[in-house]
Amino acid sequence: MIIMSQNLSLFCVFLIFGLLTPSTCLNTPKQGYKSKGMFVFGSSLVDNGNNNFLANSLAKADFSPYGVDFPLGPSGRFTNGDNVIDILGKKLKLSDYIPPFTDPSTRGSKIVHGLNFASGGSGILDATGALAGNVTSLNQQINNFEKVTLPELELQLGSKNSKEILSNILFVVGSGGNDYSLNYFLGLAGSNVSLEAFTNTLTSTLSTQLKRLHELGARKFVLMAINPNGCSPMALARVPTQEGCVENLNRASVMFNANLKNLVDDIRPQMPGSNLVFVNAYKMMSDIIRFPRSRGFRDASNSCCEVRQVSEGGTGILCKRGGSICPNRSEYVFFDGLHPTEAVNVVIATKAFSSPLRAEVYPFNVMKLSQI
């Protein structure tokens, strides 16, 4: 969509964010919420295919059986179907999936309702993810947003005031898990760094990154907690004698998530006009893992797909290319060695969007955030 006059471009801006109703502009989302798009940053839990276009990246999910239940097949999403971002987009009544930044076709009018910058294997810290080959760190994702997307967004909408445009778009950030699994617990942070000190470094770094997004015009933030990775098939396979979840991994997640929730209150006064929502995906998944059958699941400890284990030269995370999968995917918590199935993503996204419980969404849910 190329806007030819300033008046028409401003009209389209108003239309995109629900301030006008005539169907003058093309491809506008359905009405109902002020938030008419999402910019997504983070790692594999929210990545929708960016690593597909990164040479030498080892963190890819662009092959079968990934996407077995997704309309477009293997797309780079690390699950069998929709991820949390896809489902949130449907809740917001967006007209299409949020496109990946690195896809060469993601240009022009395709960016006006948001972009996904997330990169599987990446982290809050630049050093995280080196073992996964070429991945895009959270800092670089924000650079891409600032240097490439913002100028193009202004060009498409014909407005020099990008902060006005961005004030009604959700900025979803889901990062941090890899900073533990692909950094701290591999000893990359140094042998003398305590878990508490490392977690505080992550939190302060993320705080700086959120402030940077705010300076670029972001006002509505959705912060995703780290999942209970100590309960994943990958973690359980590495400690086969362990009964129950691997507590040191979960302890790290709990510590980070507590800091992240506190950050919602601590950082808001430093970011005028902002609103932040903490989504406690850790609690949502833990509740399923503790009582799977009462929540419609049967298997909370095994991967649905056939995973190439460390003993076989794999990572214990990714599905084998063309490997076998379970027929009853909606009954499994994990699709591969780490990532949840679409069924779990539906639970997380639905609760994120509309849960009334502050233990699950703090201080309120994404639906309320989208209406502010």
244's tokens:
């129950």
Q: Tens digits of per-residue pLDDT, 48-62? A: 999 999 999 999 999
Stated pTM of the model? 0.90
The active-site residue, picked from 82, 86, 179, 336, is 336
- pLDDT score of 161 more than 50: yes
- Give the pLDDT band of residue 32 (cuts 50, 70, 90): low
- Give the pLDDT band of residue 334 (cuts 50, 70, 90): very high
Q: Tens digits of per-residue pLDDT, 252-265? A: 999 999 999 999 99
**Which has more pLDDT, 193 or 314?**
193
List all residues 6 or more positions away from 199 whose beta carbon is below 8 Å from its beta carbon: 252, 255, 256, 259
Integer-rounded Cα radius of gyration of the chain: 20
137's tokens:
């760190």
- pLDDT score of 8 more than 60: no
Give 52-56's long-range contacts (Cβ < 8 A, gap of 24+).
52/76, 52/100, 52/102, 52/103, 53/100, 53/102, 53/103, 53/104, 54/102, 54/119, 54/133, 54/134, 54/135, 54/136, 55/134, 56/133, 56/134
- pLDDT score of 138 more than 80: yes
Q: Tens digits of per-residue pLDDT, 190-234? A: 779 999 999 999 999 999 999 999 999 999 999 999 999 999 999
Average pLDDT for residues 259-273, to the nearest whole number? 97
Q: Tens digits of per-residue pLDDT, 353-371? A: 999 999 999 999 999 999 9
Residue 167 annotated as catalytic:
no
- pLDDT score of 329 more than 90: yes
Strands 332-334 and 361-362: unpaired
Residue 339 annotated as catalytic:
yes
pLDDT > 90: what percent of the chain?
76
Residue 336 annotated as catalytic:
yes
Neighbours of 186 (CB within 10 A): 12
Question: Exposed, middle or buried, 53 (CB in 10 Å: 0-12/13-18/19+)?
Answer: middle
Q: CA–CA separation, 54 vs 290, rounded Å?
A: 37
Q: CA–CA separation, 332 vs 140, rounded Å?
A: 34
The active-site residue, picked from 9, 44, 159, 167, is 44
Q: Tens digits of per-residue pLDDT, 279-295? A: 999 999 999 999 999 99
